[in-house]
Amino acid sequence: MNCDPANLGGTSASINRRRFLLATGGAIVVGTGLGSEARKAAAAARAVRWVSPRGTIEVLDDYPYWVAKKFGWFGDIETTLEPGPLDATATVKLVDRGQSDMGFPSPGVFSLGLEQGIKIVSVWEMGATDVFDFAFPKGKAVSSLKQLEGKTIVIGSAGWRAIVDPMFAQAGIDPASIQYAEAGNSWGQVLAQGKGDAALSWEGLRAQWKGQGLDFDYLLGRSFSKFPANTFVIRRADFEDAAKKELYESYLRGWAMGLEFGYQNPRAATHIVMTQFPGLQLSPEVATESMMELANVFRGDFAKRQGWGWHDLEAWGLFFKTIKDIKQITIDIKVEDVIRNDYVAAANNFDKAKVKAAADAYALPDAYKAVDVEALRKRV
């Protein structure tokens, strides 16, 4: 899922910089006589550019962002959400190069970046449980990962081995016994054509594939994996810059409020995304199911967490040990050095009653009112 370009263009959800400056900083510009470069620097100081680990942002996965954008919960921060190409390590490379401020890598890709000496820190554990699953042709699912030893796994990018190999190692399987078939963006279709025993999938994608006619059986990662899932990472230099602490706390507070909104009203959160991307060919029921699959992972066992975005350091310690054991990395990674909960308390310090009121008051169209959320809860 994680990707790499030299150049990101195209789709973004950013506020036009010129309009942003005119709307929020015009008086300051006139009053101080700041030059063009100074104005750009001032605007950039309140901006966060986030890059997706997928080749697109037209998915349900980022629903907390679109909810926060709709309700203005990022405040005066200029936000950008951008797609990354399918190269697995792009999110960490783009952050390292300064082409993005925040990336969303899987634990495997995050650790590969650390192995390569990229100075990044995880500041927000978006996925409280393992988000990754295995899809199988109908009637051919296994009950244990151990049964996939020696089988062929279809993946989108060779870099996804950093995701899959540790999952097999966790189950006591030598990753070298697995055959991989790289199939690009059409890896689901390749599995449907019978050209593999299983394919990597993830929560949210399950429902979307079903909506596209790709009807598979699944072995869910949350049923066997003790690993964490994708996190938000930033440059270590930014993390250590005290002047940027409030910026990232405020930015992540927007995500936390969007997550809370989605928990309170999954149909509304789904509708907001589908309105943003009308080209998504998903029925209200399939779209809501996809969103709820993701919401389960994002929330996890909330009673054991210290709010949205909180990292489980024990799970990370197990993951780093496992990938060192299988020689996916060669360095020892000290969890406390690269997994930080410093922003979590402030990000979760928001008016939950206000968010619930917004969720309760959201006007759903009839097609979404008809979606049976309780039935979906039992299914996802």
Indicate whether 353 belongs to any domain: yes
Backbone angles phi, psi at 199, to 5 degrees: -140, 150
Tally of domains within the chain? 2
148 and 282 in a single domain? The answer is no
For strand 179-182 and strand 78-82, is the pairing parallel, antiparallel, or unpaired?
Answer: unpaired
306 and 279 in a single domain? The answer is yes
Indicate whether 247 belongs to any domain: yes
pTM of the complete model: 0.83
Nearest alpha carbon to residue 99 among 54, 55, 56, 50: 50
272 and 350 in a single domain? The answer is yes
**Domain end call among 223, 253, 271:** 223
CATH code for position 278 = 3.40.190.10
Host domain of residue 53: 43-128+229-379
267 and 327 in a single domain? The answer is yes
204 and 235 in a single domain? The answer is no
What does the pLDDT read at residue 160? 87
183 and 328 in a single domain? The answer is no
Look up tokens 């629903």; give the residue: 63
**Domain end call among 179, 194, 223:** 223
Identify whether the C-beta of residue 34 lies closer than 8 Å to the C-beta of residue 229.
no
Indicate whether 25 belongs to any domain: no
Identify whether the C-beta of residue 2 lies closer than 8 Å to the C-beta of residue 88.
yes
Which pair of structure tokens corresponds to residue 269? 């959160």
Which pair of structure tokens corresponds to residue 301? 């066992």
Residue 235: Cβ within 10 Å count: 21
Distance CA 19, CA 23 (A): 6
181 and 248 in a single domain? The answer is no
Query: Could you give the residue ranges of the DSSP H alpha helices within the chain?
Result: 17-32, 36-44, 63-71, 90-97, 107-115, 161-170, 187-192, 205-211, 236-239, 245-264, 266-276, 284-299, 313-325, 335-338, 344-347, 352-361, 366-369, 373-379
Indicate whether 18 belongs to any domain: no
Indicate whether 117 belongs to any domain: yes
Q: Hey, is 217 helix, strand or coil?
A: strand
236 and 325 in a single domain? The answer is yes
Nearest alpha carbon to residue 320 among 297, 40, 235, 311: 311
**Domain end call among 223, 249, 268:** 223
Indicate whether 27 belongs to any domain: no
What does the pLDDT read at residue 89? 81
Q: Sheet containing 198-202: which strands, arranged edge to edge?
A: 179-182, 152-155, 198-202, 132-137, 216-219
Distance CA 160, CA 110 (A): 12
Indicate whether 361 belongs to any domain: yes
207 and 234 in a single domain? The answer is no
Indicate whether 149 belongs to any domain: yes
163 and 210 in a single domain? The answer is yes
What does the pLDDT read at residue 23? 31
275 and 175 in a single domain? The answer is no
What does the pLDDT read at residue 162? 86
Q: Please give the helix or strand (H or E) that residue 280 lies within, else none.
A: none
253 and 354 in a single domain? The answer is yes
- The total number of residues shown for the chain amounts to 380
pLDDT in 10s for each residue of the chain, 380 residues: 333 322 323 333 333 332 322 233 333 333 334 456 655 555 567 999 999 988 789 999 999 999 999 999 999 999 999 998 767 688 999 999 999 999 999 898 899 999 999 999 999 999 999 999 999 999 999 999 999 999 999 999 888 898 899 999 999 999 999 999 999 989 999 999 999 999 999 998 998 898 889 999 999 998 999 999 999 999 999 999 999 999 999 999 999 999 999 999 999 999 999 999 999 889 999 999 999 999 999 999 999 999 999 999 999 999 999 999 999 999 999 999 999 999 999 999 999 999 999 999 999 999 999 999 999 999 88
